[in-house]
A and B are shown apart, each in its own frame.
Chain A
Amino acid sequence: GNSVTQMEGPVTLSEEAFLTINCTYTATGYPSLFWYVQYPGEGLQLLLKATKADDKGSNKGFEATYRKETTSFHLEKGSVQVSDSAVYFCALRTGRRALTFGSGTRLQVQP
């Protein structure tokens, strides 16, 4: 079956620090990969996605590259801001099945 493993949080960084949140997956078939973000008190929003190997998804300064050889989709940002504080979920989808989510990683950015 499908599964997603994320690094445990919380991740606490100072403003302008470099961010990496690790995500690895196992899947049957060829998944599409996603990062969702959940701000306090809100639902999930799509942050970025990649649909095939070596694709790079990017949005709002965040990037992630679909690495088939390492089955990974790590999220990175060069300079985080306080407004990036949220919970980040890595997810995948194959076929008609639902999104399979990781457990989420809480990011706290301090000024």
Chain B
Amino acid sequence: EAQVTQNPRYLITVTGKKLTVTCSQNMNHEYMSWYRQDPGLGLRQIYYSMNVEVTDKGDVPEGYKVSRKEKRNFPLILESPSPNQTSLYFCASSPNRDGLSYEQYFGPGTRLTVT
């Protein structure tokens, strides 16, 4: 089954404790992206990747890191989480890095709480 998977689905952590949220897709997509969803703000892009070893900042990259060492994986790293990073996070992938019309496939989401 074609899908985007994220782990963990739920995470409660404390300020300053490094964490990684994994994302994997099995569709051989070039484009991958991370979004955060906050009430009243819709989804905002954190980072994206056009291909292996190619990453770039989205609209709200502060406090986050990413890496793209393999085509299928795109982990999101919070080196020192803070309470304002409490949010619902979605990973997404797309089959064509330049295709305006291609839809993005979303993972199920990771709900992160930082206390």
Contact = CB atoms under 8 A, between A and B. Distances in A.
Contacts of B100: 31-32, 51, 93-95
A110 to B, nearest CB: 23
B108 A43 contact: yes
Interface string B29-48: 00001010000111111001
Contacts of B101: 32, 49, 51
A96 B42 contact: no
B90 interface: yes
A31 B101 CA distance: 9
Interface string A16-53: 00000000000000011010100001111110010100
A99 B92 CA distance: 11
A89 B37 CA distance: 12
A96 B98 contact: yes
Nearest to A48: B103
A46 B92 CA distance: 12
A101 interface: yes
A89 to B, nearest CB: 6
Contacts of B103: 34, 46, 49
B48 A101 contact: no
B18 to A, nearest CB: 25
Interface in B1-54: 4, 33, 35, 40-45, 48, 50
Given A43-B90, A44-B92, A49-B101, 15 more contacts: A43-B106, A44-B106, A45-B106, A46-B103, A51-B101, A89-B43, A95-B100, A98-B33, A98-B48, A98-B58, A98-B59, A99-B45, A101-B42, A103-B40, A104-B42
